[in-house]
């Protein structure tokens, strides 16, 4: 998280110089201060999240592939056993 400071008094003065009433300027300052003080994600935060999610997806993909291979191997063994049983019956 990035900590950002900004001069609320100077901002309010600039708004009033631009024609805002004192009440309007105070409302703008309050809203902007809440936005600045909230936890905003930086590009670095988003990149770290993307890397972590990518790693998790790769791990999950490998686990899924292993499960599929186990299932297919089991089915091949079952199929071979079924064919062997049918050949003995003939």
Domains of the chain by residue range: 1-40, 44-90
pLDDT of 48? 94
Asked if 32 contacts 6 with a C-beta cutoff of 8 angstroms, the reply is yes
Whole-Å CA distances, 46 to 38, 42, 43, 52, 53: 16, 6, 5, 10, 10
pLDDT of 2? 56
pLDDT at 69 over 90: yes
Answer with the residue of higher pLDDT: 38 or 23: 23
pLDDT of 38? 76
Answer with the residue of higher pLDDT: 58 or 2: 58
Give tens-digit pLDDT for 30-53: 998 888 777 777 889 899 999 999
């Amino acid at each position: 998280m990035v900590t950002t400071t900004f001069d609320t008094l100077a901002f309010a003065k600039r708004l009033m110089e631009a024609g805002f009433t004192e009440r309007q300027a105070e409302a703008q300052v309050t809203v902007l201060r809440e936005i600045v003080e909230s936890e905003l994600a930086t590009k670095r935060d988003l990149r770290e999240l993307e890397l972590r999610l990518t790693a998790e997806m790769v791990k999950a993909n490998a686990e899924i592939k292993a499960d599929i291979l186990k299932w297919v191997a089991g089915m091949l063994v079952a199929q071979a056993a079924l064919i062997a049983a049918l050949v003995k019956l003939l």
